[in-house]
Chains A and B, each alone.
Chain A
Amino acid sequence: MNTGIVTNNLLFFLVGAWPAGPLGGLALTVLLGAGAGLLASALGLAWGIALAQCRGWLHLALHASSELLRAIPVLLLMFWCYFLLPIVFKVDIPGVLTVLLALALVSGAYLAHAVAAGIAAVPSGQREAALACGLTPRQALRFVLLPQALRTVWPSFVNQCVTLLKDTSLAYIVGVAEFTFVANQVNNREQVYPLEVFSFVALVYLLLCSGVQWLGKRLLAGRHAPKSG
Chain B
Amino acid sequence: MTDWLVHPPRWLGNGWLTLRHVEAMLDGLLYTSLLSLAVIATGTLLGCALGIARHQARARWLAWPLAALHNGVRNVPLLVQVLFWYFGIGALLPESWMLWLNTPRVLLQLGDWALPWPSFELLAAWWALSLYATAFIAGDIRSGLNAVPPGQWEAARASGMRQWQVLRYVVLPQAWRTAWPPVLGSYLNTLKNTSLTMAIGVMELSYRARQIDAETLLTFQSFALASVLYVLLIVLVQRLLRPRQRAAWGAA
A206-B72 contact given A172-B79, A198-B84, CB 8 Å threshold: yes
Contacts of A167 in B (CB 8 A): 77
Range, interface on chain B? 35 or more
Contacts of B88 in A (CB 8 A): 194-195, 198-199
Contact with B along A70-92 (1 / 0, CB 8 A): 01111110011001000100000
Across the interface, name the chain B residue whose C-beta is closest to A210. B75
Does A107 interact with chain B (Cβ within 8 Å)? Answer: no
Contacting pair B76 A205 (CB below 8 A): yes
Partner-contacting stretch, out of B52-60, B100-108, B230-238? B230-238
Does B91 interact with chain A (Cβ within 8 Å)? Answer: yes
Contacting pair B230 A180 (CB below 8 A): no
CB distance from A28 to the nearest CB of B (A): 14
Across the interface, name the chain B residue whose C-beta is closest to A162. B75
Contacts of A79 in B (CB 8 A): 209-210, 223
Q: How far is the CA of A13 from the CA of B81 in the complex (A)?
A: 17
Contacting pair A73 B77 (CB below 8 A): no
Interface of chain A, helix or strand or loop or mixed?
A: helix
A184-B83 contact given A74-B192, A198-B88, CB 8 Å threshold: yes
- The answer, among B83, B84, B220, B223, for a CB contact under 8 Å with A76, is B223
Contacts of A209 in B (CB 8 A): 75-76
A-binding residues in B (CB < 8 A): 11, 71-72, 75-81, 83-84, 87-88, 90-92, 192-193, 195-196, 198-199, 206, 209-210, 219-220, 223, 226-227, 230-231, 234-235
Given contacts A173-B199, A197-B87, 18 further A-B contacts (CB under 8 A): A71-B231, A71-B235, A72-B230, A80-B223, A80-B227, A87-B11, A169-B79, A170-B196, A173-B198, A180-B77, A180-B79, A195-B88, A198-B84, A201-B80, A205-B76, A206-B72, A209-B76, A210-B75
